[in-house]
């Protein structure tokens, strides 16, 4: 551990981690049998080779429940220890009730409040920030923050510009009160003028479901990829520079940088501009694709399992997505 200026965010740490991905693997080659695409195009433009797809009977809450149970078991916690359940998702089971309400019930977190958090693919970072605020203020002690997505249900499988990019999965952490404070600093941002670049247009109060909205494929994700690409490479850099400066930490002090997993070219461009060496940067999108709110916790679990993230390490996480939103978080890894 290097000499961080502690105390920007007092008294909160990540105390447990659990993840779940569906078993079904969908490869680029499989996609290219039904779509005008190829493994070569997808892998070279995005870094993605395969993704997981939920079973027909699995909704986001089912993936979230598995991840949450694993996090509780890993942290030696019972469901009744949880004060609040936050589910960050862009693919809730339904408009209401909140997916978090369903998850809290299924895991038996009967003492807990529950709400969903919608901040595009940045939802996990926003959830961490919200949980840290509750814990630091002394309002709650243990908060489950879950990123869970079944994006395969929101994709237009005839649209090669979007459907090849995403996958399903879930990751959960417990944010807990701590004497030291493992979480140092946050940055959350939003630019709603870019809302149209990444959206699921129909089904809400703006464009309620009609036969026409279904015929126009407006209940699926729509994205202007090049705009999101430009936005992402800019905001990741600015946001990370801000949280590092706030905590008086340099890029060289960071043991692991875990960015949202959308495109390897975005990750490499942002990491290069920030001055990271490749061994400081974690990515696993080759086998999961973009799992939106689940992407960062899925990376954390794999980094821990592979010995890339160890207790005492300085961890920088950064996300971006629909909104357009962005956010980053600097923490000492304490598991």
* Residue nearest ligand UT7, CB atom distance: 225
Residue 286 vs 334, nearer CB to ligand UT7: 286
The CA distance from 113 to 128, in Å, is: 16
The CA distance from 56 to 195, in Å, is: 30
Residue 207 vs 223, nearer CB to ligand UT7: 223
Residue 244 vs 262, nearer CB to ligand UT7: 262
DSSP 47: -
Query: Per the residue annotation, which of 142, 240, 290, 299 is the catalytic one?
Result: 290
Residue for token digits 């160890």?
Answer: 310
> Pick from 139, 111, 182, 127: which is nearest to 330 by CA?
182
Name the minimum Å distance from CB 291 to ligand UT7.
9
Q: Cα 133 vs. chain centroid, distance in angstroms?
A: 19
The verdict on whether 163 is a catalytic residue reads no
Query: Per the residue annotation, which of 260, 263, 283, 284 is the catalytic one?
Result: 260
Name the minimum Å distance from CB 37 to ligand UT7.
3
Q: Could you tell me which residues are beta bridge partners of residue 321?
A: 325
The verdict on whether 260 is a catalytic residue reads yes
Residue for token digits 């007092």?
Answer: 10
The verdict on whether 290 is a catalytic residue reads yes
Name the minimum Å distance from CB 212 to ligand UT7.
26
Residue for token digits 């417990």?
Answer: 174
Name the minimum Å distance from CB 31 to ligand UT7.
8
Q: Which spans of this chain sit near ligand UT7 (rule: CB under 6 A)?
A: 37, 41-42, 45-46, 121, 160-161, 164, 198, 223, 225-226, 228-229, 232, 262-263, 290, 292, 321
Containing H/E element for 42?
helix 39-46
Yes or no: say if 126 and 325 are a contact pair by the CB < 8 Å rule: yes
Q: Which residues are catalytic?
A: 121, 260, 290
């Amino acid at each position: 551990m290097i000499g961080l200026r502690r105390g920007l965010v007092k008294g909160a740490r990540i105390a447990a981690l659990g993840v779940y991905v569906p078993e079904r693997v969908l490869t680029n080659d499989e996609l290219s049998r039904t779509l005008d695409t190829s493994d070569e195009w997808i892998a070279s433009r995005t870094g993605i080779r395969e993704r997981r797809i939920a079973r027909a009977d699995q909704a986001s809450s089912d993936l979230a429940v598995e991840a949450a149970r694993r996090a509780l078991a890993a942290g030696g916690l019972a469901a009744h220890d949880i004060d609040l359940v936050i589910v960050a998702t862009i693919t809730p089971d339904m408009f209401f009730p909140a997916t978090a309400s369903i998850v809290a019930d299924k895991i038996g977190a009967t003492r807990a409040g529950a709400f969903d958090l919608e901040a595009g693919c940045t939802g996990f970072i926003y959830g961490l920030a919200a949980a840290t605020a509750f814990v630091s203020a002394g309002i709650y002690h243990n908060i489950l923050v879950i990123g869970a997505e079944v994006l395969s249900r929101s994709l237009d499988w005839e649209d090669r510009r979007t459907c090849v990019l995403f996958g399903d999965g879930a990751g959960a952490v417990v944010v807990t009160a701590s004497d030291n404070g493992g979480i140092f600093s946050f940055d959350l941002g939003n630019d709603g003028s870019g809302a149209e670049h990444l959206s699921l247009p129909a089904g809400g109060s703006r464009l309620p479901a009609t036969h026409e909205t279904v015929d126009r494929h407006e209940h699926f994700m729509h994205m202007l990829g090049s705009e999101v690409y430009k936005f992402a490479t800019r905001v990741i850099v600015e946001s990370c520079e801000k949280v590092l400066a706030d905590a008086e930490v340099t890029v060289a002090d960071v043991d692991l940088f875990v960015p949202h997993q959308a495109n390897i070219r975005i990750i490499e461009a942002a990491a290069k501009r920030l001055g990271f060496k490749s061994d400081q940067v974690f990515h696993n999108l080759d086998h999961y694709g973009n799992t939106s709110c689940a992407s960062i916790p899925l990376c954390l679990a794999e980094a821990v399992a592979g010995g890339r993230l160890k207790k005492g390490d300085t961890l920088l996480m950064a996300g971006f997505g629909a909104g357009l939103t962005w956010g980053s978080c600097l923490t000492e890894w304490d598991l």
